[in-house]
Chain A
Amino acid sequence: MPLEAPEESTQPLHLTIVAIASAADIVTARQRGRELAGKIGFSGSDLTVIATAISELARNILEYAKTGEIILALAQKGSRMGIFIQARDEGPGIPDISKALQDGYTTGKGLGIGLPGVRRLMDDFDATSTVGKGTVVTVKKWVP
């Protein structure tokens, strides 16, 4: 992954930030994401996958941190276009992020599908979390 960094860029031109503070914001975030992804030629099933991933990321924010934001942007890797999605919050954080990425991990609340599901839907996945500071999950999907 670090090797790709020099030629990979995020185009700030199409940067959209959706504040997440209520269930209605989840719908807004996934609709914005779908619109943006639609502009760069994703197929119908990819658009659904992207919208679903955004929905789950936004849901995680609402559930664990109460508020946060979803950042949407276009990404480029060589001649390949993709969508960049980042979920940021300043919530309680995840103590053991590697555990949270294991399939079947749950906090016991039994809501959401957790991060493993989102990871399966997307091409690139990165999550960092600091207890007491918050969580940042960054995912990308490239146009096939």
Chain B
Amino acid sequence: MVDVLIIGAGASGAAVAWSLADTRMRILCLEQGDWVKSSDYPAHGRDWEARRYTDFDIHPNRRARPTDYPINEQNSVMKIANFNGVGGGTILWTAHFPRMHPSDFRVRSLDGVADDWPISYWDLEPFFDQNDHLVGVSGLPGDPGVPPRHPPMPPLPLGRTGTLYAKTMNKLGWHWWPSDSAIASMDYEGRGKCINLGHCTPGCAQGAKASADITYWPAALRAGVELRTQCRVREISLNAQGMANGAIYFDADGKEQFQPAEVVVLACNGIGTPRLLLNSASARFPQGLANSSGLVGRNLMLHPWPQIRGHVEDELDGDRGPMNVIWSKQFYETDPSRGFVRGYTMQFGRTTGLVNEAITSAAAGTLPWGRNHHKTYRGLVNRRLIIGIACEDLPEEHNRVTLDPELKDSHGIPAPRIDYTISENTARMMEHGIGRATEVLEAAGARNIYTSRTLLNSPGHLLGTCRMGNDPERSVVNAWSRSHDVKNLFIVDGSIWVTSGGVNPTSTIQALALYIADQMKRRLGNLFDED
């Protein structure tokens, strides 16, 4: 028996484990994946770019490691990205670290759409700050586009690419600021500073990127938390009183085990968590555990993320640095004259190496095969600009995770099926962002301007499928993320999000996990009482 059983060792599971450790409770985390050693990362080899399309692909269906589970995404215009292992999605991650904005928590009150969160930015602010220091964020205070914050390290260099973006944005008179990045710009808490290995997504061999396996987990383990890897949970079980009493899982040898627990915390991401709850249906909860609202799996938000690319005459940084350069909040807050509500962040990136330049330019039709290949390629390599439009994706119940009737993982557990479309509001927002990004690229002197709307872009932001709220009929968990239905079941991952904002979610996911852990600690004497 353990006091707290955490399922999932990614960004949120790691943070909640670390925070709860000071209670001296017995805490166990089960993770279906494994540790990734620094020496496993592609940057150690000449094939580092190719491995982005094999064992370090962001798409689990393509990556197909033994620790992955399949996902039926045929009925979704966006593909699913994730990573299953200690650190979760932060292993394959660009480490952009913006926070949600205050207005993101008040969309109903401010803009008349979706729902307000039951908590505010200001409730989370101390946990954002705490997380920034624990993770190690590089950035610059003073950004007029976001609330005050104080990153503990200076920003990553602008480089040639960032300097060109900055000149162009100044020419247009639009806001820009160096991106907050969970990448060490100086030696930090035992981690070496970034040495510019290239695109950060397929893992950081240097350890400069703040994946949760090298930030929260070492501290949590030192504090006594136990972490068991290659343990895939099949089902949360209940006792006769309707309280969670543990989890049934397959261990590293494939043997079925039962782990009893007083409290169960789900941290499996916006797809894995509803999948597990739906797989835990019982006579008491025939629609799935904790699903009396019928909202488990619904309101999936994936952050449509158009990318607009072009090439300039002068050579830029290419892959000699992190992807993260600058952001713009120029179009973040609602302006009704634009024809949509809410907004987006523009993210300005460096690019990848020789191989990925050729692969993506060929796919875009910019780089021909045959006789003109080399002549064209010479004008492309190290000259690419790329702007991502991080669109707020509002919740819609028909966007959802269900269980696939046929597809199963390697343990025979039903796999998730995704049904997802892009709303009219988001589609208008996307086109607005594409138009503005095109203006930027044209002003920078770019040619070959190409837009990739959805299919190639999978940010892996899996949000909204077990939403937080005060009304048990309209939400799955309460304002401190305890299940309305099962009083000792908590959810701490991105599935609790009410709305998605127009930012990368990891900073807010981890701040929420720290907030929830703090709420639990404040209530240890009456944790299971009625609200």
> A and B bound?
no
Name B's A-contacting residues (CB within 8 A).
none
Name A's B-contacting residues (CB within 8 A).
none
